[in-house]
A and B are shown apart, each in its own frame.
Chain A
Amino acid sequence: MSKRILMQGNEACVRGALKAGMRFFAGYPITPSTEIAEGCAVELPKVGGKFVQMEDEIASMAAVIGASVTGVKAMTATSGPGFSLKQENIGYASMAEIPCVIVDVQRSGPSTGLPTSSSQGDVMQSRWGTHGDHPIIVLSPSSVSETYYLAIRAFNLAEKYMTPVIFLMDEMIGHLRETVEIDDNVEIICRKQPDAPEGKFEAYKGEENLVPVLPVFGSGHYYNITGLTHNTWGFPTNNRAVANELNSRLLNKIENNRRDIEAWDEYLTDDAEILIIAYGGSARVGEDAVDMLRRKGIKAGMYRPITIWPMAEDRLRELSQRIKKILVIEHNNGQYLHEVERVAADDAEIEFIGRINGAFILPEEVTEKAEAM
């Protein structure tokens, strides 16, 4: 049954996570994500789950991984400065293949920046924030309703692909209250468990889809988890062939399954002659601008990546071969712009509008620029 209610973005994140089966949250207070921690502190014990406010952001990320290795779905939430601190253990989760969800409600940076103002300045950090070549999945919601459903999907992807998933929100959506329609009938995925009897288990072998089956701790399989390069049994090694095999499997685990992971949305692209590209909060600007342009008789459309990584780039390439004018709008100085250029620069003219003062781009600015293209 679907319910129609007014809800805040951060609250929708909590509700979605709970629906997905989150039963552990560790965090540290930081604006503008704090409502997520507060919501978890209230709601988790009601369902027998655990909430802990750790001593810092690093510890929160570590505790989330600790909870997850016992088989409990776990999440943390933060914003820019805290996201920087979490990178160490995000890399660990990526390497050790521990499913978990990291929410980053982006605020304006760099550094402490503008704590209560929105931004999309962590887009590149969400992909490359932790060191080394590593796999990651990044999702960005552009409405409160989508926040609810995408939080569920974040857990589903984490559990299915045994990977940390970054839930890249922004202050605009996190603090926004708006109409949400909640449908309780959603798919929930839980990580696979071995059907082998108790005893030693080759946990990091990787199945056909390259995803490993990691027994939850306490189930009697006695294996080792490490952030060091490891063999298929989880033990550290310096063997270059094994290192190559592991690192390739980690990257291909996402690459080979990208069709299943990729998500995007299109708005009036069928007959579009100008394509606006926006995601998260900036997509709300883009959508309004498309409507305004259409009212003026200009055939505008919008392509909105939902999985920021992996990007649904085949679709973007198709669109750019047909729609020769692209306008990228982001609440940063042009981060995803480079990704769009990588995919579409050969086929289309690409323009950009950014914002780095904590304010939002106005739909009128977009229409003006689009009209001039």
Chain B
Amino acid sequence: MERMEIRLAGTGGQGVILASIILAEAAVNAGRYACQTQSYGPEARGGACKAEAIISDSKISYPEVSDPGFVLVLTQKAAEKYVRNLKDDAIVIVDSRVEIPAEAENHKVYHLPILDTAEYKVGKAVTANIVAVGVINRILGICSFEELAETVRNRIPKGTEEFNLKALKAGNEMDLGG
């Protein structure tokens, strides 16, 4: 995998930071290199919050995301603030509750029911980040589903395995459309 810059954005509490850590860790476990960074302070709690990861098959020197090749946004505010400086061939996932931002035009956009899947299909809104992890890995092919599931298991609180793995599976099997 060439240097892939991933940005995940939403609102504080949606778990985008954990999602970015899981993606980076899964990449490392699969033998790749990864970097992960996130917003800190008040920004990380309310309003729009972002977390980023870089995954590559070679050593990563500059550890910051400057022109993401992949962006996921879970809120309108995040869509307006963080869908920018996209690489030409960038992929954007916009949650179906969010309007597709103008900046995403001319890029590959998936408009997917991540929040709805977590809330209605898994039955727990808090699993939206894990649903997203499932979808992202499916699109980017960072590692196998089994490797990803193992990473998720190691990073989530004990006792939440059942519904988080259900969320991961739901994300992995989500209909991506055309």
Chain A–chain B contact at Cβ < 8 A: yes
Point out residues on A near B: beta carbons under 8 Å.
Answer: 4-6, 31-32, 115-116, 172, 175-179, 284-285, 287-288, 291, 360, 362-363
Q: Please give the number of chain B residues whose Cβ is less than 8 angstroms from any Cβ of chain A in the complex.
A: 20
Some 19 contacts from A to B, beta carbons below 8 A apart, are A4-B28, A6-B36, A31-B40, A172-B63, A172-B64, A176-B35, A177-B36, A178-B24, A178-B33, A178-B34, A178-B36, A178-B63, A179-B34, A179-B60, A284-B61, A284-B63, A287-B61, A287-B62, A362-B66
Chain A residues closer than 8 Å to B35, beta-carbon distance: 176-179
Contact status B60-A175, CB under 8 Å: no
Cβ contacts under 8 Å, A284 to chain B? 61-63
User: B38 at interface (Cβ–Cβ under 8 A)?
Assistant: yes
What 6 A-B pairs have minimum CB-CB distances, sorted nearest first? A288-B62, A177-B36, A116-B40, A287-B61, A288-B61, A6-B25
B28 touches A5 (CB 8 A): yes
Bound form: Cα–Cα A189–B9 in Å: 45
In the assembly, what is the distance between CA of A285 and CA of B60, in Å? Answer: 11
Q: Residue of B at shortest CB range from A115?
A: B41
- Whether A291 contacts B28 in the complex (CB less than 8 A), given A176-B36, A362-B66, comes out as no
A42 nearest CB across to chain B (Å): 16
Q: Which residue of B lies closest to A178 (CB)?
A: B35
Query: In the complex, what residues of A have CB within 8 A of residue B28's CB?
Result: 4-6, 179
List B contacts of A177 (CB < 8 A).
Answer: 21, 24, 34-37
Which residue from A6, A175, A363 sits with its C-beta under 8 Å from B40? A175
Q: Which residues of A contact B38 (CB under 8 A)?
A: 175
Which of A179, A284, A288 has the most C-beta atoms of chain B within 10 angstroms of its own C-beta? A179
Q: Is the interface of B mostly helix, strand, loop or mixed?
A: mixed
**Closest A residue by C-beta to B26:** A6
The smallest beta-carbon distance between B73 and chain A, in angstroms, is 22
* Chain A residues near B66 (CB-CB < 8 A): 362
Contacts of A175 in B (CB 8 A): 37-38, 40
The residue of chain B having its C-beta at the shortest distance from the C-beta of A180 within the complex is B28
Question: Per-position contact with A for B40-73: 1 when CB-CB < 8 Å, else 0?
Answer: 1101000000000000000011111010000000
Chain A residues with CB under 8 A of B62: 284-285, 287-288, 363
18 further A-B contacts with Cβ under 8 Å, apart from A175-B37, A284-B61, are A4-B28, A5-B28, A6-B36, A31-B40, A172-B64, A175-B38, A176-B63, A177-B21, A177-B34, A177-B36, A178-B24, A178-B35, A179-B28, A179-B34, A284-B62, A284-B63, A285-B62, A288-B62
| B20 closest partner in A (C-beta) | A177
In the assembled complex, which residues on chain A have CB atoms less than 8 Å from the CB atom of B41?
A: 31, 115-116
Report the separation of the CA atoms of residues A6 and B60 in the bound assembly, to the nearest whole angstrom: 13
* B160, chain A: closest CB distance, angstroms: 20
Q: How far is the CB of A130 from chain B (nearest CB, A)?
A: 29
Q: How far is the CA of A363 from the CA of B65 in the complex (A)?
A: 12
Q: Are A6 and B64 in contact (CB under 8 A)?
A: no
A76 to B33, alpha carbons, bound, how many Å?
Answer: 31
Query: A285 contacts which chain B residues (CB < 8 A)?
Result: 62
Which single member of A4, A6, A179, A288 contacts B21 (CB below 8 Å)?
A6
Q: Known contacts A6-B36, A31-B40; is A360 also within 8 Å of B64 by CB?
A: yes
Asked whether A6 and B24 contact (CB < 8 A) given A178-B60, A178-B63, A291-B61, the answer is yes
Q: Which residues of A contact B21 (CB under 8 A)?
A: 6, 177
- For residue B40, which residue of chain A has the nearest CB? A116
A6 to B35, CA, bound (A): 8
Tell me if A32 and B40 are in contact (CB < 8 A). yes
Q: In the assembled complex, how far is the CB of residue A268 from the closest CB belonging to chain B, in whole angstroms?
A: 12
Task: Give min CB distance, B84 to chain A, whole Å.
Answer: 15
Distance in angstroms between the alpha carbons of A106 and B43 in the assembled complex: 20
Residues of chain B lying within 8 A (CB to CB) of residue A116: 39-41, 43
Tell whether, in the assembled complex, residue B61 and residue A179 are in contact, meaning their CB atoms are under 8 Å apart: no
Q: How far is the CA of A32 from the CA of B39 in the complex (A)?
A: 12
A232–chain B nearest beta-carbon distance, Å? 49
Chain B residue with Cβ nearest A291: B61
State whether A176 touches B25 (Cβ < 8 A).
Answer: no
Q: Of all chain B residues, which has the CB nearest A143?
A: B63
Which residues of A lie under 8 Å from residue B43 when comparing CB positions?
116
The residue of chain B having its C-beta at the shortest distance from the C-beta of A176 within the complex is B63
